[in-house]
Amino acid sequence: MTEKKDDHQDEIKSGEVQTSRRDFFKTTAMGMAGAGAVTMGILPFGAAKDAEASSAAGPKEHVGPGELDEYYGFWSGGQSGEVRIIGIPSGRELKRIPVFNWDAAYGWGTTNFSKSQMKGRISGDTHHFHLSYKDGTYDGKYGFVNDKSQARLARIRLDMLVTDKIVDIPNAAGTHGIFPSRNEINAVYCNSEFRVPLPYDGSGDLEDVSKYGCLHSCIDAESMEVRWQIQVDGNLDLCATDYEGKYSMACCYNSEEGATLPEMMGKDRDWLVIFNLERIEAAIKAGKGTTIGNSKVPVLDGRGGANSEYTLYIPVPKSPHGVNVDPTGKYAVCSGKLSPTVSVVELSKVDQAFAGKIKPRDCVIAEPEVGLGPLHTAFDNKGNAYTSIFLDSVVTKWNIAKAIAGENPVLEKVDVNYQIGHINASMSETKDADGNWMVALCKFSKDRFLPVGPFRAENEQLFNISGKKMKMVHEGAAHAEPHDALIVSRDLIRPEKVWPRDDRRFEIERAMAKKHGVTLEAAANVITEGNHTYVYMVGIAPAFSLSKFNVPLGNTVTVVLTNMDGVEDLSHGFCLTQHDINFGVSPKETASVTFKADKKGVFWYYCPWFCHALHLEMRGRMIVS
């Protein structure tokens, strides 16, 4: 199969970018893509020609059967509340990690451990996923993801790729942008996007918008406790940190502090807010923070622009959305959705601005035009930036040094389909950006895939960026709605294949077993204490250690199951008919569930994970009488 020439692709002629006329037009000011887009000439996913098309120096594009991907992709799951793991460049979906969502396969939201984290809630909205760092690159220990809907932060263990801890952020609404410290495992900084009455407990004046506020929160990466918060002017959006541990930063829109769209559009500029972490930590240590409402978390006042010693408000074009720090750590790139430009902030100048030697706006050293509706920026290892352009439905490749020098920095533009949101490149958010892959996460997919009704899939497009031009090698449908993604070298992620029996994950079950004198690894016990029945069993293919247990009607029942098969990839589970109980246990894992036996009868339980030739026989009876 011969790769077609893409008629949309911009060409470089005499240092200028010649952009062909779009084959679809924008029907509204918000850039809704019209019909009639021409199909891009791309290689189908998985085609053997991919390997032939790869340059000798570039990354391998084709991943054959039995071959492993070179990168882990971590995708947020949007409204699903989950995180997804994708092989890159194959695009194979490897796992969905339930986080803020109920999940029957793993039992997240059903097991006692997951209930202790979810606290009765079964939905969330995951937008931004980031990994923990050491010395500017990923350390393979944790992942962190936000819940915009209910102001939460979750931590994912990378050794097991499971959700480990969920924390509620006090006095916050719409937790959106998050970012960990990059110099070491220290903190995760979280932005509260929606301005709400403070304290956020339903008390006080709920109508007076002038009394609303937003908070930037610092959460300890190890303990997952909120250390401090700081109040700001306006609404906070995306978040970033520098490489030295000196600053966190946030795009800040709605400087008017209005509550409706017209009220938010009065000014020409908003801000990039820089938080001076050294000053904030010193003030918290000195006891200068106050508390809000019932929360014990100390809060500082970072409002007032130049009047605050903790914050620096750098004026940037209206309604900034994304802020991204380049791999050298020298520059932060901030995108204003309502301007065709991006703002390049030199972080060394931030020191001078905090010292009062220059004005905040002097930190902006370049503001090149990149397209209509810039949102987010990724980076390669050659000094180039890749910015997603929402209204134009393109990715713009531009050179940072040329922008700073005042030259036309735009090197190339490539069409994407359609309405691109987030963008990321391989290892782009570390000092080890490698310039191999870039993914465009597009919001609309009409005419790209078979129609499936009014709710459509999203469209993800993978580009090889190792050469002089961006080359799309794959596009695929995505279940609603990934907002952001990371592409991480596979050698930095080292998951275990079998659970260690002393893992902290089983603390709830170990405490119960100790109380009852039960050994989890060899359990076949039914213990009734008043109106509570405890059932301990193990699974070894193809049988449970208990083929039957009896429960008095109306009793609370706790079932504790340990998978004692140590064979890699041999999972078991416990599904109880007619009781809405289903959870999995992977090799050497222990999990438990608690429910009420409120129906009289015989109820079969079985292993829902296919584990053996006699898998169907791996079952037993719960008799309630």
Residue 616 CB: number of other CB atoms within 10 A? 11
pLDDT in tens, 489-541: 999 999 999 999 999 999 999 999 999 999 999 999 999 999 999 999 999 99
Give DSSP secondary structure letters for 223-245: T--EEEEEEESSEEEEEEE-SSS
pLDDT at 23: 41
pLDDT at 57: 66
Q: Is the pLDDT of residue 55 over 70?
A: no
Q: Is the pLDDT of residue 306 over 50?
A: yes
Q: Is the pLDDT of residue 368 over 80?
A: yes
pLDDT in tens, 316-357: 999 899 999 999 999 999 998 889 999 999 999 999 999 999
Q: Is the pLDDT of residue 64 over 60?
A: yes
Rg of the chain, C-alpha, whole Å: 26
Residue 460, H or E segment: strand 458-464
Greatest Cα pair distance in the chain? 86
Token pair belonging to 535: 């059932």
Amino acid found at 125: D
Domain boundaries defined on the chain: 504-624
**pLDDT > 70 fraction of the chain, expressed in percent and rounded:** 91
pLDDT at 32: 33
pLDDT at 265: 84
Q: Is the pLDDT of residue 555 over 50?
A: yes
What average pLDDT does the segment 294-307 reach? Answer: 91
Q: Is residue 65 reached through a cis peptide bond, with omega within 30 degrees of 0 on the bond before it?
A: no
183/139 Cα distance (integer angstroms): 11
pLDDT at 5: 39
Q: Is the pLDDT of residue 412 over 80?
A: yes
Q: Is the pLDDT of residue 7 over 60?
A: no
What average pLDDT does the segment 278-305 reach? Answer: 95
Hey, what CATH topology would domain 504-624 get?
Immunoglobulin-like (2.60.40)
Q: Is the pLDDT of residue 36 over 50?
A: no
Confirm if 396 and 371 have CB atoms less than 8 A apart: yes
pLDDT in tens, 242-271: 999 999 999 998 887 888 888 888 888 899
What average pLDDT does the segment 411-428 reach? Answer: 96
Q: Is the pLDDT of residue 9 over 60?
A: no
Residue 47 CB: number of other CB atoms within 10 A? 16
pLDDT at 305: 76
Averaged pLDDT of the chain: 90
Give DSSP secondary structure letters for 330-389: SEEEEEETTSSBEEEEEHHHHHHHHTTSS-GGGGEEE--B--SSEEEEEE-SSSEEEEEE
Model confidence band, residue 304 (pLDDT cutoffs 50, 70, 90): confident
Cα dihedral 206, 126, 240, 429, rounded to 10, equals -170
